[in-house]
Chains A and B, each alone.
Chain A
Amino acid sequence: MTRSALGDLEHQVLIAAFRLKGEAYSVSVVLEIEERTSREVAQSAVFIAMRRLEEKGLLDSRLEDQLEEKGRVRRYFELTPAGLEKLREMRRALVNLWDGFTQELDEAR
Chain B
Amino acid sequence: MNRLLGWILRRRLGNTEARVFQSEMEEFYRHKVETDGTAAADRWRRQETLRAAFRALTMHTRKHPKPSPRPKRRLREISSIGKDIRFGLRTLKKRPLFTTLVVATLGLGIGASTIVFSLVDGVLLEDMPYEEPGELVNIWQTYPHWRNHEVLNEAWDKLGLTWNEFHTLRENTQVFSHVAAHKNRMMVLTSPGTPERLQAAEASPGLFPMLGVRPLLGRVFLPGEEGPGTARLTVLSHSLWTSRFGSDPDIVGKAIDLNQEPFEVIGVLPAGFRLRSTLFRLFNSTLDGGHRALWVPLRFDRVDGSHDNETVGRLAQGATLEQVRAELDALVRGDRTADQLGFRLTHPKEEIIGGHRSSLRLLLAAAAMLLVIACANIAALLMSEAVGRTREMATRMALGAGRFRIARQLLTESVLLGMLGSALGIALAVVVGIPSLLSLAPPLPRLEEVGMNHGVLLFSVLAGVGAGVMYGLVPALMLHGDGLRLAQGLGGRGNAGGRGRYQRGLIGAELALTMVLLVTGGLLFRSLLNLARVDPGFDGSSVATIRVHLPASALRDSENRREVLMQVVERIQAIPGVERAGAVNGLPFPGIVSGTSIRIEGPSPGPM
Contact = CB atoms under 8 A, between A and B. Distances in A.
A15 B17 CA distance: 23
Given A51-B17, A55-B66, A63-B20, A45 B61 contact: no
Interface string B18-48: 0111011111100100000000000000001
Contacts of B24: 25-27, 43, 47, 74-75
Interface size class, chain B: 20 to 34
Given A27-B31, A51-B17, A73 B61 contact: no
A58 to B, nearest CB: 13
B28 A74 contact: no
Contacts of A25: 24
Interface stretch (B50-58, B91-99, B105-113, B534-542): B50-58
B23 A44 contact: no
Nearest to A40: B44
Nearest to B35: A31
B19 A73 contact: yes
B90 interface: no
Interface in A17-43: 25-27, 30-31, 42-43
Nearest to A25: B24
Contact of B23 (A31, A45, A54, A74): A74
B20 A52 contact: no
Contact of B51 (A27, A31, A44): A44
Contacts of B61: 48, 51-52, 55
A52 B55 CA distance: 13
Given A43-B28, A44-B51, A48-B55, A73 B23 contact: yes
A54 B66 CA distance: 10
A55 B62 contact: yes
Contacts of B59: 48
B320 interface: no
B60 interface: yes
A46 to B, nearest CB: 10
A71 B23 contact: yes
Contacts of A74: 20, 23-24, 27
B64 interface: yes
Contact of B28 (A27, A54, A72, A73): A27
Contacts of B56: 44, 48
A61 B48 CA distance: 23
Nearest to A53: B61
Interface centre among B19, B20, B51 (most CB of A within 10 A): B20
Given A27-B28, A45-B55, A63-B16, A51 B23 contact: no
A55 B69 CA distance: 13
Nearest to A54: B64
Contacts of B55: 42, 44-45, 48
Interface in A53-109: 54-55, 61, 63, 71-75
Given A48-B61, A51-B64, A63-B16, A42 B21 contact: no
B51 A26 contact: no
B21 A44 contact: yes
A1 B31 CA distance: 36
A47 B21 contact: yes
Nearest to A47: B21
Nearest to B50: A44
A26 B28 contact: yes
A52 B137 CA distance: 62
A52 B60 contact: yes
A100 to B, nearest CB: 38
Nearest to A52: B61
B66 A72 contact: no
Contact of A73 (B20, B51, B52, B64): B20
Contacts of B19: 73
Nearest to B59: A48
Contacts of B26: 72
A45 B31 CA distance: 18
A1 to B, nearest CB: 13
A76 to B, nearest CB: 10
B60 to A, nearest CB: 7
Nearest to A42: B51
A95 to B, nearest CB: 30
Nearest to B60: A52
A31 B21 CA distance: 16
Contact of B48 (A42, A48, A55, A71): A42
A26 B55 CA distance: 15
A54 to B, nearest CB: 8
Nearest to A74: B24
A61 to B, nearest CB: 8
A26 B17 CA distance: 12
B27 A72 contact: yes
Nearest to A44: B52
Contacts of A48: 55-56, 59, 61
Interface centre among B13, B16, B27, B48 (most CB of A within 10 A): B27
A44 B48 contact: yes
B25 A43 contact: yes
Contacts of A61: 64
A97 to B, nearest CB: 28
A52 B27 CA distance: 22
A42 B54 CA distance: 12
Nearest to B63: A51
A48 B66 CA distance: 14
B1 to A, nearest CB: 14
A43 B48 contact: yes
A73 B16 CA distance: 9
Contacts of A45: 51, 55
A51 B55 CA distance: 13
A5 B49 CA distance: 29
Interface centre among A27, A61, A72 (most CB of B within 10 A): A27
Contacts of A44: 21, 25, 48, 51-52, 55-56
Interface of A: 25-27, 30-31, 42-45, 47-48, 51-52, 54-55, 61, 63, 71-75
14 contacts: A26-B21, A42-B51, A42-B55, A47-B24, A47-B52, A48-B59, A51-B62, A51-B64, A52-B61, A55-B61, A55-B62, A61-B64, A63-B20, A72-B23
Given A26-B28, A55-B62, 17 more contacts: A26-B21, A42-B52, A43-B25, A43-B28, A44-B48, A44-B51, A44-B56, A55-B61, A63-B16, A63-B20, A71-B23, A73-B20, A74-B20, A74-B27, A75-B17, A75-B20, A75-B24
Closest 6 A/B residue pairs (Cβ): A44-B52, A26-B24, A73-B23, A52-B61, A51-B61, A75-B20
